[in-house]
Amino acid sequence: MRSVPILLYNTLSRRTEEFSPSSPEGIVGIYTCGPTVYNHLHIGNYRTYVFEDCLRRTLEFLGLKVRHVMNITDVGHMTSQADEGEDKMEVGAAREGKTAWEIAEFYTKSFLEDSKKLNLEAPDVLCRATDNILEQIALIKRLEEKGFTYRASDGVYFDTSKFQGYGRLAGGQARIEGLQEGARVVANAQKRNPTDFALWKFSPAGAKRQMEWDSPWGKGFPGWHIECSAMSMKHLGESFDIHCGGVDHIPIHHTNEIAQAEAATGKPFVRFWLHGEFLVLNKAKMAKSSGGFIRLKDAEEKGFDALDYRYFCFGAHYRRQLEFSWEALEAARTARRKLRDRGQELLKVEPEAGPDVMKALEAFRSRIAEDLDMPGAVASLWDAMHVLPPAGQRAYLQEADKVLGLRLLEPAEDKLSEDLQALFDRYCAARKAKDFAASDALRKDLAAKGIKVKDARGGSTWSRG
Ligand code: AMP
Ligand code: ZN
């Protein structure tokens, strides 16, 4: 098939550029910032991970090989962006009466389970900050030897005034200071510049932290930003192709990653920076700290499948905000089910990829290659479904679903979520006990969550819809 240019919007240059891998073997190195595992993730976080998954699948679909590295932040992400406040992991531990280590394990597991349900391809490397402390210390030492650091009473800091071009990613130093205005107000008085940030924080005098390590500067723990510079370079080399995250990472986290990496190596760190816009709820960013957040589990309890949410994410380009509403998720569910049902019927048909299929796939390919235009790709998919014969539809879906990841042609093994299964079990028990008032109420409850029940002699069965 004809190869198409891959166009990606690069935050660094503020332009859409043609992408090709820098390695002679054609392998694309991608680093994506993973979650801070002190709480469950919300569906806003997953919007970013779905976008990154589409990026990976698109590059693979267009014939490239990908090496994807993702981190798990399990130490050092402070509640305030100005490196003040508490470590989010310790906050999570105090909230739940568990150790920070238990919290990290529990929420990492929750993240991996959700990722599977959303059909996110597993990264080639998943690395934890706490497993890479020596690498982080080594990078700080390199920065110290080159004169980029200074010591304050609570830690070792990066001196941003010594790094030429600091803030380039966000549009320059002046803009960065504007964006970090909040940080400046609460800034540590010992910082030489408001944008300086902690590389290593000391454990508080006289107190033992749950997570702390020895270092050349004293007992403590790494700052949040250093983990991503250290682990990305460990697994992808000192210069690599693509780095992603949500737009909130542009002014601080990614800006600081660039400063640390480039100050240490003297080389350009990353060629393409891609950032996903927010999922918003009532016009405000969905955030763990605001309390107004929705989990994937909440949607499942209302009878949605995680893949309904995946389809919903395709409703806006990744660089535009996407407003969440249950009505919009319902519309996504209806559309996805229609496609899935069609896919299930097509399992009986032999695929046949004639010129009409090739042409339709060419249209799909041109959409995804243009800065991951998923809304355009989905529109071209519906067009194709209207014009192709069944054998062509099957051949088409087989290809397109490699990027969409909606499991359209996988034989459905439909299972209820744990909560819905419990509700259904209670329904059956109420019927068995001839408690019809209870079974009627439970039937209504199930119907409201998208589950229809049918009673027969041998027992009750359920279906969706
Ligand atoms: P965190 O666990 O806070 O580090 O966030 C994990 C990822 O989710 C980061 O890439 C964030 O940029 C992203 N993120 C956070 N909130 C949202 C949101 N409302 N919509 C989309 N992405 C988000
Ligand atoms: Zn990161």
> pLDDT tens digits, the chain, 465 residues: what are they?
547 899 999 999 999 999 999 988 889 999 999 999 998 999 999 999 999 999 999 999 999 999 999 999 998 788 876 667 788 888 888 888 888 889 899 999 999 999 999 999 999 999 999 999 999 999 999 999 999 999 999 999 999 999 999 999 998 765 666 656 544 445 577 899 999 999 999 998 887 888 899 999 999 999 989 999 999 999 999 999 999 999 999 999 999 999 999 999 999 999 999 999 999 988 788 887 666 789 999 999 999 999 999 999 999 999 999 999 999 999 999 999 999 999 999 998 999 999 999 999 999 999 999 999 999 999 999 999 999 999 999 999 999 999 999 999 998 766 777 788 889 989 989 998 999 999 999 999 999 888 889 887 777 888 876
- Nearest residue by C-alpha to atom 15 in ligand 1: 45
Q: Distance (Å, rounded) from C-alpha 223 to C-alpha 137?
A: 11
**Token pair belonging to 186:** 């609460």
Phi, psi of 174 (to 5 degrees): -65, -40
| Structure tokens, 169 | 């990613």
Residue positions counted in the chain: 465
CA 103 to chain CA centroid, nearest Å: 20
Domain with residues 294-306+323-404, CATH architecture:
Up-down Bundle (1.20)
- Secondary structure E strands in 40-163: 65-72, 125-128, 149-152, 155-158
Nearest CA to ligand 1 atom 2: 35
CA of 189 to the centre of ligand 1 (A): 29
Q: Which atom of ligand 1 sits closest to the CA of residue 244?
A: 10
Grouping H, G, I as helix, E, B as strand and the rest as coil, residue 452 is strand
Question: What are the tokens at 356?
Answer: 């009409």
Verify whether ligand 1 is closer than 6 Å to residue 44 (CB atom): yes
123 CB less than 6 Å from ligand 1? no
Listed in order, the ranges of the chain carrying CATH 1.20.120 are: 294-306+323-404
Return the ligand number nearest the Cα of 243.
2
Where along the chain do the CATH 3.40.50.620 domains lie?
Answer: 6-276
Tell me the fold of 6-276. Rossmann fold (3.40.50)
Q: 316: left (phi > 0), else alpha (psi -120 to 50), else beta?
A: beta
322 CA closest ligand 1 atom index:
20
- Alpha-carbon distance of 224 to 213, in angstroms, equals 15
Residue 448 · residue 439 · CB < 8 Å: no
186 contacts 230 by C-beta, under 8 angstroms: no
The whole model's pTM is what? Answer: 0.88
